[in-house]
Amino acid sequence: MLKMNIYKRILTGLFIVLGLVSCNQHDGTSKILLNEVLTDNAANFEDDYGIHSAWIEVFNKSYNSVDLAGYFLKVSNEPGDTISYIIPKGDVLTVVRPRQHALFWADAKPNRGTFHTNFTLNNGHPCWIGIYDSGNKLLDEIVVPALKTDESYARVQDASKEWEIKSGSTTKYVTPNTNNQTIEKNEKVEKFEQHDSDGIGMSLTAMLVVFSGLILLYIIFRILGKAIFAKSESTKQHVNMKQEETTNKCAETSSNEVYAAIAMALHEEFGGVHDIESNILTIRRVHSPWSAKYDALRVIPRKKQ
């Protein structure tokens, strides 16, 4: 019995060493990473059925959406015993938005939905987890150490290289499907409150910023106004010069035409072009065959004897 326990410990140690060595196989440039794992869920996050199950959190560290449909989640609880779960296609929820998370439940009940895997995680024992793309390329992997109930193994920050065990304390609390590190305090704000509790410095700073902006706008508009005014003045002068040239040309042309008209009128007046009439009306009687017949009809015809 003692030999069997020693044999199991040796195998477990070799399994962890092999897992740690295999972590260097991927190039580290993957967009999809394993971010947090909880193996024994007693009172932690519940799934959509209200059941406490182990879960695996995946993080999209890129600034583009990534569709996990067709990807593989592989788990090995014992050396040489690897189970694969293919993420189904056709579910719009498999699209992980930029810098967001996806949570998979390791409950061995895939009939409950896309995010319920066909494997479970051993409680209190190390296990290896890997995620592969649709081309069976390793994207990320991690060896999860033996964890206590409701403890998680997570990156210190999302996509960081350092991992830590989160026990649910106030400083290291479990964060399923959200950022691994939530900033509750702002050191700069706290320092500002310490040095300026009455807000006088903040008021002066705000007024300085506002007045500085107004002065800067005044200078900019003043310079632009002068440049625009100078350009408009030059354009106006150019237009006035063009109008004067056009007026002079028209004046010269019109004066020559007037002189020509006056000269033509004088020439017609004194040059005898018009006929001179005597202003006497004359009527001449013209005889025609019609008038001759008329005259003949005025003679009374005589009867022949």
* Model pLDDT for residues 149-204, shown as the tens digit of each residue: 999 999 999 999 999 999 877 778 899 999 988 666 666 767 767 777 777 877 88
* Model pLDDT for residues 40-82, shown as the tens digit of each residue: 999 989 999 999 999 999 999 999 999 999 999 999 988 778 9
Tell me the whole-structure pTM to 2 decimals: 0.56
- Per residue, the 3-state secondary structure of the chain, as one string, reads CHHHHHHHHHHHHHHHHHHHHHCCCCCCCCCEEEEEEECCCCCCCECCCCCECEEEEEEECCCCCEECCCCEEEEEEECCEEEEEECCCCCHHHEECCCCEEEEEEECCHHHCCCECCCECCCCCCEEEEEECCCCCEEEEEEECCCCCCCEEEECCCCCCCEEEECCCCCCCCCCCCCCCCCCCCHHHHHHHHHCCCCHHHHHHHHHHHHHHHHHHHHHHHHHHHHHHHHHHHHHHHHHHHHHHHHHHHHHHHHHHHHHHHHHHHHHHHCCCCCCCCCCCCCCCCCCHHHHHHHHHCCCCCCCC
The domain ranges of the chain are 2-184, 220-264
* Model pLDDT for residues 71-112, shown as the tens digit of each residue: 999 999 887 789 999 999 999 999 999 999 999 999 999 999
Domain 2-184 has CATH 3.40.47.10: no
